[in-house]
Amino acid sequence: MKNLFTRLLLASSLFALPASDALAQQEYVPTPENLQSRQEFSDMRFGIFLHWGLYSMFAQGEWYMQNAGIPYAEYSKAASGFYPSRFNAHEWVSAIKASGAGYITITTRHHEGFSMWDTEQSDYNIVDATPFKRDIIRELADECHRQGVRLHFYYSHLDWAREDYPVGRTGTKCGKDPKRADWPSYYRFMNAQLTELLTNYGPVGAIWFDGWWDHDSDATPFDWQLDEQYALIHRLQPACLVGNNHHMTPNPGEDIQIFERDLPGENKAGFVDEAAEVSRLPLETCETMNGMWGYKIVDQNYKTTRQLVHYLVNTAGKGANLLMNIGPQPNGCLPATAVQRLKEMGEWMQTYGTTIRATQAGDIPVQQWGATTRRGDRLFVHILDYNRRELYLPLSCRVLKATTFPEGKRVAVTKTSEGVVLTLPELPQGIDYVVEVQTK
């Protein structure tokens, strides 16, 4: 039976957002709970992204419906065969927690329009449309709360299946009639779903929006009505962070800034708007563990553990979190290679996690040889790719001593006019050779 409380809540408070909400959001001042949540988010530095939906059944990635031009009426038939019998929330959360990650971001509804929870707003969901009949989001949320792992919800702003969503530059071959677009209807639908997610599943660490770019080529700028939507989220859960993967300078009401396949300040992937700036908000870089976000059977090009650790270190060196993606299989299992990478990263984090978690960007920007992170008076020098014993650091602070981490071997420090030179006891070896520098 659907949740009566949700229906009453929606009827009484959702569809008539207070007129003051929009104005208040334009002058957004985060609550103390939100500011604390921002700090805790930044301190974790490492999270796992899970792209999972109906698209996993096709094993062609999360954009298969769009890329193959499949009409939504045909695509949706796959729901009757979606039965992830091996899904085990305890195993997922345990493996992710052991990797050293502090939070999970899962796709509650991707662009294909299929909802992974027992939503009242549409029958096109994992409980009503599949023989599985289980609420994936409920089970994952309960397990995350049990194990102390934060849960964030990805939510797509666009929909290739719903007729009321105004077609943008994607989903044009999915069989929808553009004349049936009804933005007010779709906007009410989204806010109703967000209200469910923020009232029925316990504390939510963040809402991770995606899809703004679907209307970035419109002749008339598209109004996503973000102010009201963000105000709704902050009203329902003041500590919940809002992020939007729009590749632009953050809007009022957003609590984190997201970078897709790029470190903050870079644009190698070509997604970032030329006018975008790196803000002072908490930062997050999302990246794939192999090549795709959603499960693709032929994509076995997994990054090595060394590559993943280096990406984590360089991200932390930029003062940002790394959100590393895994695409679960249609049977409900995480791919074996991904599980192995989680295990290996966890082993590294057991030793070196203190040089990543609760740190800020170090005194020296990310270099070709590596990166630096700082916690208080401790500067961690992460040497990732360097084959000499002498390393010059242009530091303006006073250096008291330097030792290898965690072994504690003495590292000679020579002062220069513009910094110091570290003389390592041996050539840097391993995935990450770390020197702890005590400063004043």
* pLDDT reading at 6 higher than 90: no
* pLDDT reading at 9 higher than 80: no
Peptide bond into 32 cis (omega under 30): no
What are 347-352's contacts with CB under 8 Å, separation 24+?
Answer: 348/100, 348/305, 348/309, 348/431, 348/432, 349/46, 349/99, 349/100, 350/100, 351/406, 352/405, 352/406, 352/432, 352/434
Q: What are phi and psi of 230, to 5 degrees?
A: -65, -40
Q: What are phi and psi of 280, to 5 degrees?
A: -95, 5
CA distance 386 to 428: 7
| pLDDT in the model for residue 245 | 98
| pLDDT in the model for residue 16 | 42
Q: Which amino acid, one-letter code, is at 420?
A: V
| pLDDT in the model for residue 14 | 42
CA distance 125 to 18: 30
From residue 333, how far is each of 56, 85, 284, 328 by CA, in Å?
11, 9, 26, 6
From residue 18, how far is each of 10, 33, 182 by CA, in Å?
13, 22, 22
Give mean pLDDT, residues 372-391.
98
By the 8 A CB rule, do 398 and 363 touch? no
Mean confidence (pLDDT) of the chain: 94
The pLDDT tens digits for 143-193 are 999 999 999 999 999 999 999 999 999 999 999 999 999 999 999 999 999
* pLDDT reading at 5 higher than 60: no
* pLDDT reading at 138 higher than 70: yes
From residue 229, how far is each of 161, 181, 242 by CA, in Å?
22, 20, 10
Tokens 């500067």 found at: 379
Q: Which amino acid, one-letter code, is at 250?
A: P
The pLDDT tens digits for 268-289 are 999 999 889 999 999 999 999 9
| Lowest-pLDDT range of 2-11, 222-231, 236-245, 355-364 | 2-11
* pLDDT reading at 7 higher than 60: no
The rounded percent of the chain whose pLDDT value lies above 70 is: 94
Angle between helix 336-352 and 305-317 (nearest 10): 50
User: pTM for the complete prediction?
Assistant: 0.94
The rounded percent of the chain whose pLDDT value lies above 90 is: 93
Q: What's the chain's Rg over C-alpha atoms?
A: 23
- End-to-end Cα spacing for the chain: 62
Give mean pLDDT, residues 302-317.
98
| pLDDT in the model for residue 4 | 42
What pLDDT band is residue 251 in, cutting at 50, 70 and 90?
very high
| pLDDT in the model for residue 25 | 52
The pLDDT tens digits for 184-217 are 999 999 999 999 999 999 999 999 999 999 999 9
Q: Which amino acid, one-letter code, is at 297?
A: I
The pLDDT tens digits for 10-32 are 443 444 444 444 454 568 999 99
Q: Which residues pair with 115 in a beta bridge?
A: 109, 125
| pLDDT in the model for residue 10 | 45
Q: Which amino acid, one-letter code, is at 152?
A: H
| pLDDT in the model for residue 27 | 84
The pLDDT tens digits for 337-380 are 999 999 999 999 999 999 999 999 999 999 999 999 999 999 99
| pLDDT in the model for residue 26 | 63
Q: Which residues pair with 382 in a beta bridge?
A: 371, 434
| pLDDT in the model for residue 12 | 39
In this structure, the number of other CB atoms found within 10 A of the CB of residue 74 comes to 11
